[in-house]
Structure 1
Amino acid sequence: MAKGSSGKRTGGRGGHGASKHRHDRHDRHDRHAPDPSASDNNSDSEKLPVPLGMWDFDHCDPKRCSGRKLARLGLVQEFRLTTVFKGIVMSPEGTQVVSRADLPIMQAHGAAMVDCSWARLDEVPFNKIRAQHNRLLPYLVAANPVNYGKPWRLNCVEALAAAFFIVGWDDVGDRLMAKFKWGHAFREMNRTLLDRYRACEDNKAVIEVQTEWMAMIERETLAREHERFVEYGDIGNEINSEEESDDGLAHNPNHAPGADPRRFDIPASDDESGSDDGAGSEEDSDDDEISERQMARLVRQGVYRAETDRLGNVSYVKVTTDADESDGGSDDDDDELAASLAASRI
């Protein structure tokens, strides 16, 4: 399901005046449907063991549509609206996800896709598409340049290749993805999930794996948010430590006359008087803004390092040094501040 701006198709088969039928999207489908014999001289199409097809509703930018590229290469046939297809069809009209149980159908009749935008589904005449085996895809993450790292946002070639990977027909999926410079990234990013889906006997088992995986993602997201709030407390303490007086005595700039609390990572609360615990502020937006601004400086200084998980989310981890381990008093202050901040945010 590729998403993009509407593009105008050019050219056509002989005998059909293009200017007379531009108002009718479905006539364009008939006019542009290629003759199956036209791809006989294409070596790539001859290597594919099954037919591949596509209903194209011109919702995508022709220059960026992966389905159009496969059609130009002769790997995918563009169907007429009324074409009858007996293979597996990746379509929003599906009522079950694709699974290994669909392999016999794909071996006998191939696979196809409905190329349309999720935002324009009401424009697609699904009742006229003569597909016998509509299927949905389970949770996967896109690797295409437009929606890289976004779940569910697969483009045409990713959707088609994913179906072959899930049923265990890797050769076809790999050949399709090999036509794109970024194609190898899709399988690498989703390898664990694709392997688990492929091990499922039917669509119900695939849904169970999807449910477990999404629950794990939710737990990881909550844990990451918790760590981020705790680390913000550490960052605030680091910033204050850098601004301590030269005599080595702990000094809280928030208590200085005329001090602007917005300058610091964790502003002091209104009722503070000499306390070094500044985690009581409720100005979350300012706190987050200041923290993110200071984070880059702390990473450059080696105080924190940035880490990226498999979903592309960035988190920051404090770098422990020998000096940190010997400074017991500073660690106690960090722990107290971090605990107080975490309790106020959660």
Structure 2
Amino acid sequence: MYCADCESIDDYFFDTTYFWLFLPTLETFSKVAGLCGSMDINATQQSDHCISCVVERPAIQKFIMSINGALESKEKENTKVTTACHDGAPSIDDMGRIVTLEILVNRYQAKWLIDSIEKERYETWFQPIIDARDESVFAHEGLFRVRDSDDSIVPPALAFKLAEKSDLLFSLDLVARRSAVECAARGKLNSKLFINFNPSSIYDPSYCLRATAAAINEIGLSPSDIVFEVTETHRADDLNHLKGILAFYRNAGFQIALDDIGSGWSGLNLLQSLRPDFVKIDMELVRGVHNDAYKQNIVNSLIQIANRSGIEVIAEGVETEDEASWLKNAKADYLQGYLYGRPAPLSTQTLSAEEAQQIDQKMNPLKAAAK
């Protein structure tokens, strides 16, 4: 997906959908041709490695699931496909939407997620981050929640994994950042705000992040009160790209946090390369740290490294007083976890109709970019 196309979600399925499949081997071609024949689907051989076929909307699910079951994983990875809503050769725009068959199958399974984005069935809940010195509220982390058509909350990890597999990560990550800003404004949040973002969803920082930065400024939040938290740090495979993202945020006046430090050695490498303002110690290290000498050695080392580098430490996943007491003695700066509060939506009861309207108007550019 090119940056110019990122600000809308491409549609691949229509009342009558014309599929163009570019197949890696003659064996894969034979499988797809046989499948079309068994389903009485009108298919045309365009070349030795290309089949086009026409599928009406009621038959799309069966066709997608059947081809998904008929091909091996490598075949799906190497089969390219595009669709069109018209007869004849695919247009230039149709060819610009070519994806792998694997992505197309996941895109079909993600129809509910696209619907939730378009109908704004999502919100942000907030969890407090506590100052370890006096247990005052230092900040809140915005945690994205998306609902399906039955209004049930879908586990965030599941939603983001599906978005990644269906080439929707840009849209979902942008929606999540926008939701955090808007819900914080509506709830009149009076603390620092940690906003998660996945660096894999950012193509060009100056282009992809400008709507979020503009919305924060427009809505009246101070950049100094915003901390952008890099998630999936263990999967960062382009360090220069990540540095470019963080440089954009820093230049705009925002602070930076790295998530889940300690979950892999890559996290330590990122620590010295990126020099964040905050690091979060992975909750697996925090869980039961008060009676686990092995975890204590690791956490102590992480805190000492961060302190010597001028980086403040947040221990997340704190659930017991014993864990909190040990972490305070180890000089963690901030604590986060169920002990201090579960994620919850902010109340908007004090928001006037006029204030709500102003927030809507100021968020419109970012809403448009997410769709």
User: Larger Rg: 1 or 2?
Assistant: 1
Q: Structure 2-normalised TM-score?
A: 0.23
Higher relative contact order (CA 8 A, sep 6+): 2
Q: Structure 1-normalised TM-score?
A: 0.24
